[in-house]
Amino acid sequence: MKIHFIGICGYIMSAMAVMLKQMGNEVSGSDQNAYPPVTDVIDRAQIKRFENHSPANLGNPDLVVIGNHIQEDNIEAKEAIKRKLNVVSLPELIGKIFTDKKRIVIGGTHGKTTTSSLIAWVLESAGLDPSFLVGGILKNNDSGFKLGKGNFFVIEGDEYRTAFFDKSPKFFHYKPDIAVLTTCEFDHPDYFKNLFEVKKTFTKFLELVPKDGLALCGTDDPNVDRIFEKIKKPKISYGLGKTSSYQAFDLRFGDVTNFKVKKSEELFGEFQTKLSGIINVQNALAAIAVADYLGTKVEKIQKAIATFEGAKRRFEIIGKPKGITVIDDYAHHPTKIKKTLAAARTKYKTNKIYCVFEPHTYSRTKALISDYAQAFDGADEVIISELMPAREAGQKPTITSEEVVASIKKYNSNVKFIPKPLQIMDYLIPLAKTGNVVIIMSVGGLDNLASKLTKAIKK
């Protein structure tokens, strides 16, 4: 088939495009303002990529896949619909392809990508040869996807709307055999009215599990715990709490993280991970529970957890130029920011931490402004960049970065607004000293600031 992707440069869009090419299809795609590592993945696969949107990009495809971030007024999408081409959303397409495999779907407000990547890596290491599709890139194999020959398909789910022509949550299309719920908080205020709607959506997600399937829930999160109590499907809990089916305890943080796991109050095993913080112990625990449920020997799980290198742009150490640690991270929700900084503090106990944050979308920033105000207490100094409106570009601004700074200043006085990436570099380069840690938090990478800063400090 000839398949064209409109909005090809999302993590999962690009991964699916490459997988479809590997299946023998002719694939092309278009997107604007794209950046590595996604563009590298597409270009390595020799997929024809247009750097703009135009009706001419379509050609005569058998199928057009329209990405989540593409709006109704997109000229290329309008042309595809006008021509009555065969148009689908990515989740709908995924739901139709991997019907011959057991589907392990990971949902939640935070932790989806790392947990999905961990599960995929553990099953891969155990020799189960899974297929997987996650919203990031595993550092172990420099890929966020794989077409395996095994019986399992691991996919990162998402509660956000599928497409402008399909308002249902993406993960409803995936029909999970095993559904993992990591966390549940209010997010995507342009889609959900309140926390109740988010909880209702995650509950429906878990209720998709068949009678011979499993709902696996991270019950350290109080909202997940309440959902767990209500669902009527086969279910298991994981967390640090003593009532969890899989409980992590005796956590020890340092250059690596060590912890023990009880299963139904009996010692299951001792584990080590290169990842930092309580949040990543919880993520690893989900992968341990899934692998054990599927019959994987504990020794194989231990080895896989210990050798997992992490996902790119998830607390990724880009470099240590002149003894300054530069970290790139995807955090954009206030709770994830807080947990990421807490993880940083477990690893860098006495180091000065600079946190650079790019606010993402007017709606999220405005709705959660009081939470953002209190999210940065783990940083010694905070730099707020110009807000990135993303899919809300063209809308009238409802909040500014200056307002974010003013809110944070109530709890952390050492915060300032520096709008542009180059200005941030000019500020940090003479200031940062050996032993300092700089964490860049941004959905879009702030024009690849972490890499550029690392190279500039080296000079």
Residues 13 and 127 in one domain: no
Structural domains in the chain (count) = 3
CA distance 239 to 220: 5
Q: Strand 166-169 relative to strand 161-163: parallel, antiparallel, unpaired?
A: antiparallel
**What range defines the domain where residue 325 resides?**
316-458
Residues 354 and 384 in one domain: yes
- Asked whether the beta carbons of 273 and 280 are under 8 A apart, the reply is yes
CA distance 216 to 209: 10
CA distance 75 to 338: 39
- Asked whether the beta carbons of 286 and 115 are under 8 A apart, the reply is yes
Looking at residue 10, its pLDDT comes to 87
Classify residue 148 by burial, with Cβ atoms within 10 Å: 0-12, 13-18, 19+: middle
| CB-CB neighbours of 32 under 10 Å | 11
Directed axis angle between helix 298-307 and helix 278-293, to 10°? 140
Give the residue from 307, 332, 354 where a domain finishes: 307
Residues 232 and 251 in one domain: yes
CA distance 390 to 360: 7
Residue 122: give its domain's CATH number: 3.40.1190.10
Residues 106 and 236 in one domain: yes
Which residues contact residue 301 at a Cβ distance below 8 angstroms, ignoring those fewer than 6 apart? 122, 126, 269, 271, 287, 288, 291, 292
- Asked whether the beta carbons of 49 and 73 are under 8 A apart, the reply is no
Looking at residue 216, its pLDDT comes to 98
Residues 13 and 55 in one domain: yes
Residues 121 and 252 in one domain: yes
Give the residue from 261, 290, 307 where a domain finishes: 307
Instruction: Please name which of 415, 387, 416, 380 lies closest in space to residue 401, comparing C-alpha atoms.
Output: 387
Looking at residue 260, its pLDDT comes to 98
Residue 348: give its domain's CATH number: 3.90.190.20
Q: Which residues pair with 163 in a beta bridge?
A: 166
Farthest-apart Cα atoms in the chain, separation? 62
Residues 126 and 10 in one domain: no
Report the run of H or E that residue 40 belongs to, with start and end. helix 38-44
Residue 367 DSSP SS3: helix
To the nearest 10°, report the CA torsion of 160, 166, 170, 171. Answer: 130
Residues 283 and 320 in one domain: no
- Asked whether the beta carbons of 324 and 436 are under 8 A apart, the reply is yes
- Asked whether the beta carbons of 251 and 245 are under 8 A apart, the reply is no
Looking at residue 321, its pLDDT comes to 96
- Asked whether the beta carbons of 122 and 287 are under 8 A apart, the reply is yes
Distances (CA, A) of 45 to 33, 125, 153, 321, 376: 19, 25, 22, 32, 40
Residues 33 and 120 in one domain: no
Looking at residue 440, its pLDDT comes to 98
CA distance 339 to 280: 10
Residues 83 and 108 in one domain: no
For the chain, residues with pLDDT lower than 50 are none
Looking at residue 258, its pLDDT comes to 97
Residues 35 and 57 in one domain: yes
Looking at residue 202, its pLDDT comes to 98
Q: Phi first, then psi: give them for residue 102, nearest 5 degrees.
A: -75, 125
Residue 390 DSSP SS3: helix
Give the residue from 92, 118, 145 where a domain finishes: 92
Would you list the DSSP string of 232-297? -S-EEEEESSTT-SEEEEEEE-SSSEEEEEEETTEEEEEEEES--SHHHHHHHHHHHHHHHHTT--
Residues 117 and 186 in one domain: yes
Q: Which residues pair with 319 in a beta bridge?
A: 326
Q: Which residues pair with 87 in a beta bridge?
A: 64
